[in-house]
A = this chain, B = another copy of it.
């Protein structure tokens, strides 16, 4: 097929007619599919069913220090859960606090504490004016929503193929004391699946912020979420880089098992410098007596049992990671970055049975997820590959595919899909204030639907993008 931009008006009108006919045909099927959020599928959740019975009757429920997990106390979380999350986050356990089921709430709470109490002696943010947060975009809407809710101005930062535009980040952070932080998903970023390069990580670590209370919010949500275990991206250690740069306190890292064990019943963790954690512990001791330590112990015992079981399953083959498409999206390329060979986590030295168990489990989840990513990417390639109306990412991990359509077409594409029964993430949601300046970005979440549904939904999506593109070109 000819690229749309090279078609005559007549050809494009004819194409639009046939697209619309196909669209009506789709509508008549009465689809009801949801690709809006990065939700694990039931099949994935079922793989964690042993978690429910990981704590067996008669077995003592003491933590590694002999504390009863069922009772009050141990505010930083039990030692073995801190070890497991530390291994996942590739930092020492002394740098980790394990909380409840939600890393988002640990991020929100961190911002909320900064608002009310300041950061390490700084004036509380609620008494400072004109606060700003940097938001690499497209990015994660729930990050942006937190700072927006607190009245902090969200500043979009362009994403390059190896991470945020660090020239702009450096300029803003180092010149403006009202810039208090930056939201990052450094590995398999939401939505593009980009892993920050070593150079980008080093640049973050070497920042000389104008504000003493500036913090990097490093949401390591997809630390273990390779789609193809043998060729995952690797992410440099922000902790080590910051320590080397004499900036030991400027990072806060977050992770959870929401997309490892259960989205609604996992465990989450905050990592930061020991000095920062001392302050955090003091402040969270007003908020709670302890996290749900029983669920922490449940997770460790479950993971250890998986570790004894050893790795099995896992995805084979896989997508190329190479950029597909030739369209006019605003971002040039999304090809895999990262620094070469994928590691298995600095904390895994043969002794951490729980980490080994989690890794084996992730390989099983990848075997479910990878074919879904392949379906979407293959459909995009087949249906849009030669129309030159979109580019998209082919990530090696994470939960999303990011698509850039022609300027001014994303909202229309998403509205069309909804009309035919497929709910996507709202167009614009990946940008601060829901405003995608060029109206190009569509976030695709392939994890939840079944394979057959996903094929249909992907075809429909291509149809909607094509209609919106043809309409837009004809309207010019």
Q: Find out whether the CB atom of A69 lies under 8 angstroms from the CB atom of B264.
A: yes
A269 to chain B, nearest CB (A): 15
Chain B positions within 8 Å of A57 at CB level: 49-50, 52-53
Q: Which of B37, B74, B109 is the one whose CB lies under 8 Å from A72? A: B37
Q: Name the one of B45, B108, B286, B293 contacting A146, with C-beta atoms under 8 angstroms.
A: B286
A13 within 8 A of partner (CB) = no
Task: Determine whether the beta carbon of A52 is less than 8 Å from that of B49.
Answer: no
- CB pair A283–B53 under 8 Å, yes or no, is no
Interface residues of A in 100-151 (CB under 8 A from B): 100-102, 104-105, 108-109, 112, 115-117, 124, 126-127, 142, 145-146, 149-150
Asked if A341 is at the interface of the complex by the 8 Å CB criterion, the answer is no
- Report whether A70 and B264 are in contact in the complex, using a CB–CB cutoff of 8 Å: yes
How far is it, in angstroms, between the C-alpha of A266 and the C-alpha of B357 when the chains are bound? 27
Tell me the chain A residues, 37-93 only, with Cβ under 8 Å from chain B: 37, 39-40, 42, 45, 48-50, 52-53, 55-57, 61, 68-74
Chain B residues, Cβ within 8 Å of A112: 112, 116, 287
Interface size on A, residues (CB 8 A): 56
A209 within 8 A of partner (CB): no
Q: Cβ of A71: which chain B residues have Cβ within 8 Å of it? A: 39-40, 42, 45, 262-264
Given A52-B56, A53-B53, also A264-B292 (CB < 8 A): yes
The one of B37, B70, B108, B288 that contacts A288, using a Cβ cutoff of 8 Å: B108
Residues in B neighbouring A61, C-beta threshold 8 A? 52
For the complex, is A442 an interface residue (Cβ under 8 Å from B)? no
A450 within 8 A of B: no
B72:A104 contact, CB within 8 angstroms: no
**Shortest distance between the CB of A123 and any CB in chain B (Å):** 12
Q: Nearest chain-B residue to A285 (Cβ)? A: B145
Residue of B nearest to A261 (CB): B70
Q: Which residue of A40, A105, A109 has the most chain B CB atoms within 10 A of its CB atom?
A: A105
Q: Is A190 positioned at the interface, with any CB of B under 8 Å from its CB?
A: no
Contact mask for chain A residues 409-453; partner B; CB cutoff 8 A; 1 contact, 0 none: 000000000000000000000000000000000000000000000
Q: Does chain B have a CB within 8 A of A295?
A: yes
* Measured CA separation A231–B127 after assembly (Å): 52
Whether, in the assembled complex, A291 has its beta carbon less than 8 Å from a beta carbon of chain B, the answer is yes
Complex CA–CA separation, A242 to B7 (angstroms): 70
| Chain B neighbourhood of A49, CB < 8 A | 57
Q: Is the CB of B52 within 8 A of A288?
A: no
Q: Verify if A21 is at the interface (C-beta below 8 Å from B).
A: no
Residues of B within 8 A of A310 (CB): none
Residue A30 CB within 8 A of the other chain? no
Q: Does A265 contact B (CB under 8 A)?
A: yes
CB-contact partner of A68 in B45, B53, B108, under 8 A? B45
Interface: A464 (CB within 8 A): no
A37-B72, A116-B112 known; A262 vs B102 contact (CB < 8 Å): no
Chain A stretch 270-309: residues in CB contact (< 8 A) with chain B: 283, 286-295
**CA A283 – CA B108 in complex, angstroms?**
11
Residues on B with C-beta less than 8 A from A150 are 116
Q: Which B residues lie within 8 Å of A289 (CB)?
A: 102, 104, 142, 263
In the docked arrangement, what's the CA distance between A410 and B127, Å?
A: 40
* Further 15 A-B residue pairs, CB within 8 A, beyond A101-B292, A105-B288: A52-B294, A53-B55, A53-B56, A68-B264, A69-B265, A71-B262, A73-B264, A74-B264, A115-B116, A126-B126, A146-B287, A149-B286, A263-B289, A264-B290, A264-B294
- Taking beta carbons and an 8 Å cutoff, which residues of A are in contact with B? 37, 39-40, 42, 45, 48-50, 52-53, 55-57, 61, 68-74, 100-102, 104-105, 108-109, 112, 115-117, 124, 126-127, 142, 145-146, 149-150, 258, 262-265, 283, 286-295
User: Shortest 8 CB-CB distances between A and B: which pairs?
Assistant: A265-B294, A126-B126, A108-B287, A101-B292, A105-B288, A102-B288, A52-B55, A70-B262
